[in-house]
Amino acid sequence: MSIPEFELPEEAIEEKFLSGTGPGGQNVNKVETACQLRLDVYALKLAPDVYRRLKTLAGSKMTTAGEIIVVARTHRTREANRLEARARLADMIAKAHIRPEKRIKTKPGKAAKEKRLLGKSVRSTVKQGRGKVVLD
């Protein structure tokens, strides 16, 4: 099952660039390449069940104000980090839209019940044979 694409609305996103860690040498100290995205979840107007799944998926990335914060700092350029953060956010929201399949309860068949009872009776006879030895 493939994950559906989800388009992020621009008015719900707030972008901020931070000084990043990671690859880049001395360049890291002087350039703000890490991207922090804040998404207002309430602006998406999600269904209650989708919102619940998104909250679970986001975990500690979701604030009490209903914002999801994603930080991308693996790449050396702003644009690459920006695209990665947006992709991760869109992927998370798309996964929340997937409804989990309900498990259908099944009962054991007649043959399975008989096999189980036969096994129990065999085990019972084995255990009965372990009693104290009576000498006549």
Give tens-digit pLDDT for 32-80: 888 999 999 988 888 899 999 999 999 999 999 989 999 998 888 889 9
Residue 124: per-residue pLDDT: 94
Q: Is the pLDDT confidence value at 29 over 80?
A: no
Q: Is the pLDDT confidence value at 6 over 70?
A: no
Average pLDDT over residues 113-118: 96
Cα distance between residue 114 and residue 95, in whole Å: 43
Residue 28: per-residue pLDDT: 66
> Residue 111: pLDDT band by 50, 70, 90 thresholds?
very high
Range scoring the smallest mean pLDDT among 4-13, 33-42, 46-55, 86-95 = 4-13
Residue 5: per-residue pLDDT: 63
Rounded to the nearest 5 degrees, what angle is found at the Cα of 22, between the Cα atoms of 20 and 25?
95
Stated as kind and residue range, the H or E segment containing 123 is helix 110-128
> Residue 22: pLDDT band by 50, 70, 90 thresholds?
low
Question: Across all residues in the chain, what is the average pLDDT?
Answer: 86
CATH class in words for 10-96:
alpha beta
Q: Is the pLDDT confidence value at 107 over 70?
A: yes
Average pLDDT over residues 79-84: 92
- For 48-96, give the secondary structure using H, E and C: HHHHHHHHHHHHHHECCCCEEEEEECCCCCHHHHHHHHHHHHHHHHHHH
Kindly list the domain boundaries of the chain, sorted by start residue: 10-96
